[in-house]
Amino acid sequence: MSLSKRAKEVSPSATLQITATANRMVREGKDVIAFGAGEPDFDTPDVIKGAAIKAIQDGFTKYTPTSGIPELKEAISKKLKKDNRLDYPASSIIVSCGAKHSLYNVLQVLVEKGVEVLIPVPFWVSYPEMVKLAGGKAVFVRTSVKDDFKINPKTLEKYFTKKTKILILNSPSNPCGVVYRRDELEAIADFCVKHNIICISDEIYEKIIFDGIEHVSIASLSDRMKKLTVTVNGFSKSYSMTGWRLGYLAAEPEIVGAVSNLQDHSTSNPVSFAQKAALSAFTLGDDFFKNIAKKFQERRDVIISRLDKMKGRLGYKKPEGAFYIFCDISKTRMDSFTFAKRLLEERQVALIPGAPFGCDDYVRLSFATSMEKINKGFDRIEEWVAKL
Ligand SMILES: Cc1ncc(COP(=O)(O)O)c(C=O)c1O
């Protein structure tokens, strides 16, 4: 048997691998502190669970339209208008099996051999693999801590070629919690408009944002930019619905039509009763998000104070959103996989190596875990790093 070239080229997900090792250690009875989680640690709200149960009991268990039930698409359309100042009719929205699926689909319909996709570094691990699967070339746009890990038109111009078609933007970002401000997005939008570049704007961490910073959707900046943008979002991180697999994209009719056709012949609709559940999520008000963001912010602040106590042995840039902190381990003179492996084996603390995010002298810690575990984990990290 021989696998396709395409399949052979895809790397396994490093985040899932390390989590699997940590889980195995837990099953073996080891006292592992896990900073690897890519999902919120709070339960899916009861109102959402209740709506799913009701939908199942009502027999809402059959196929739905591929792009999602009309009432959910209407609700998403209203949400985009209210939260993001984006005017997308329901017909410009496609609900998929997670934001990951939306991203995969849109790259499948836009990318082909020879197409270059700009990906700012550090990046979420799946972007380059998805570009590869679509037959395109991922072009990594280097950023620096000095620039807060942010791209700007000057940097982008350096990587732009005649083959550049797409830019993937992620704000708030995984892995370093970067949040782009309005003026920075305006400058990036100017670059996209100048070169006719499609911006895939991954806004999945939109609601987890700190210090009163405003989330701005790049598509809201001008009509021209809206035409060039594919806005991607979902329910996983905002509502702790990672297992329900529901995300969506909003874009121009031509793109939406192509994604719909692709989804018709691959997954069809996302789970019927999960869609009903997602509909009920919109009954949760702004206070719900404020509470969650507050909790994550408190944890971030504790982590920062613990890192500050370590006298610069691990560097960091203060995250402004999402629930990760990206730590500079260069002073330990270890690469990120060695660091993560040794810390797990020697102190039973699990975190994610930075190499799959494009930075081998960094590691990613998730603060989607309790304050108690954060403190216990940092006791171990502090003691271990001091002895290196
Ligand atoms: C930046 C980013 N985009 C998209 C996703 C995918 O989210 P979903 O669970 O909706 O597929 C993740 C999940 O970790 C993520 O970190």
pLDDT, tens digit (0-9, with 9 covering 90-100), for 332-361: 999 999 999 999 999 999 999 999 999 999
Cβ–ligand 1 distance for 170 under 6 Å, the answer yes
pLDDT of residue 17: 73
311 is written with which tokens? Answer: 């006298």
Cβ–ligand 1 distance for 321 under 6 Å, the answer no
| Phi-psi map region of 85: left, alpha, beta (phi>0 left; psi -120 to 50 alpha) | left
pLDDT digits (tens, 9 = 90+) for 263-274: 999 999 999 999
Mean pLDDT of 320-331: 97
Question: What is the residue with the minimal CA distance to atom 7 of ligand 1?
Answer: 99
**Cβ pair 246, 278 in contact under 8 A:** yes
Q: Is the pLDDT of residue 71 over 90?
A: yes
Cβ–ligand 1 distance for 278 under 6 Å, the answer no
Question: What is the residue with the minimal CA distance to atom 16 of ligand 1?
Answer: 174
Q: Alpha-carbon Rg of the chain, whole angstroms?
A: 21
Closest C-alpha among 243, 181, 209, 178 to residue 44: 243
Atom of ligand 1 nearest to the CA of 234: 10
Task: Give this prediction's pTM.
Answer: 0.96
How many angstroms does the Cα of residue 120 sit away from the middle of ligand 1? 16
What percent of the chain lies above the pLDDT cut of 90?
A: 91
Q: CA-CA distance, 94 to 73, in Å (whole number)?
A: 7
pLDDT digits (tens, 9 = 90+) for 102-128: 999 999 999 999 999 999 999 999 999
How many angstroms does the Cα of residue 310 sit away from the middle of ligand 1? 31
Cβ–ligand 1 distance for 246 under 6 Å, the answer no
How many angstroms does the Cα of residue 19 sit away from the middle of ligand 1? 16
- Burial code (b: 16+ CB inside 10 Å, e: under 16) for 185-205 equals bebbbebbbebebbbbbbbbb
Tokens 């991922």 -> residue:
138
Distance set, CA 80 to CA 6, 238, 244, 319, 321 (Å): 35, 14, 21, 25, 19
How many angstroms does the Cα of residue 99 sit away from the middle of ligand 1? 6
How many angstroms does the Cα of residue 323 sit away from the middle of ligand 1? 12
pLDDT of residue 3: 92
Cβ–ligand 1 distance for 234 under 6 Å, the answer yes
258 HSE (CA, 13 A, CB side): 13
Average pLDDT, the chain: 95
pLDDT tier at 15, thresholds 50, 70, 90: low
pLDDT of residue 116: 98
CATH topology of domain 46-281: Aspartate Aminotransferase; domain 2 (3.40.640)
Q: Is the pLDDT of residue 19 over 80?
A: no
Q: Is the pLDDT of residue 304 over 90?
A: yes
Cβ–ligand 1 distance for 201 under 6 Å, the answer no
Q: Is the pLDDT of residue 22 over 90?
A: no
Distance set, CA 96 to CA 130, 234, 254, 307, 384 (Å): 16, 9, 17, 39, 43
Mutate to test the pocket of ligand 1, among 102, 201, 204, 249 (most ligand atoms within 8 A of CB): 204
Element (DSSP H or E) covering residue 33: strand 33-34
pLDDT of residue 217: 98
pLDDT tier at 20, thresholds 50, 70, 90: confident
Q: CA-CA distance, 285 to 309, in Å (whole number)?
A: 38
pLDDT tier at 369, thresholds 50, 70, 90: very high
How many angstroms does the Cα of residue 202 sit away from the middle of ligand 1? 8
Distance set, CA 178 to CA 70, 129, 169, 321 (Å): 34, 22, 11, 7
Q: Is the pLDDT of residue 246 over 80?
A: yes
pLDDT digits (tens, 9 = 90+) for 196-242: 999 999 999 999 999 999 999 999 999 999 999 999 999 999 999 99
Cβ–ligand 1 distance for 98 under 6 Å, the answer yes
Distance set, CA 320 to CA 22, 93, 138, 215, 382 (Å): 27, 28, 26, 11, 23
pLDDT tier at 95, thresholds 50, 70, 90: very high
**Cβ pair 130, 170 in contact under 8 A:** no
Give the residue with greater pLDDT, 379 vs 7: 379
**Cβ pair 269, 64 in contact under 8 A:** yes
How many angstroms does the Cα of residue 15 sit away from the middle of ligand 1? 12
Mean pLDDT of 248-255: 98
Kindly give, in sequence order, each residue whose CB lies less than 8 Å from that of residue 252, ignoring residues fewer than 6 positions away.
92, 227
Atom of ligand 1 nearest to the CA of 101: 11
How many angstroms does the Cα of residue 309 sit away from the middle of ligand 1? 32
Helical residues (DSSP H) of the chain, grouped into ranges: 5-9, 14-27, 46-57, 70-84, 99-110, 126-133, 153-159, 182-195, 223-228, 253-264, 272-281, 286-309, 336-347, 371-387
Cβ–ligand 1 distance for 174 under 6 Å, the answer yes
Architecture of domain 5-43+286-387: Alpha-Beta Complex (3.90)
Mean pLDDT of 355-381: 96
Atom of ligand 1 nearest to the CA of 100: 11
Mutate to test the pocket of ligand 1, among 126, 178, 179 (most ligand atoms within 8 A of CB): 126
Cβ–ligand 1 distance for 247 under 6 Å, the answer yes
Task: Dump the DSSP string for 274-336.
Answer: HHHHHHHHTTS-HHHHHHHHHHHHHHHHHHHHHHHHTTTSSEE----BTTEEEEE-GGGT--H
Atom of ligand 1 nearest to the CA of 170: 1
Distance set, CA 339 to CA 269, 355, 387 (Å): 42, 11, 13
**Cβ pair 339, 332 in contact under 8 A:** yes
Atom of ligand 1 nearest to the CA of 246: 10
**Domain locations along the chain:** 5-43+286-387, 46-281
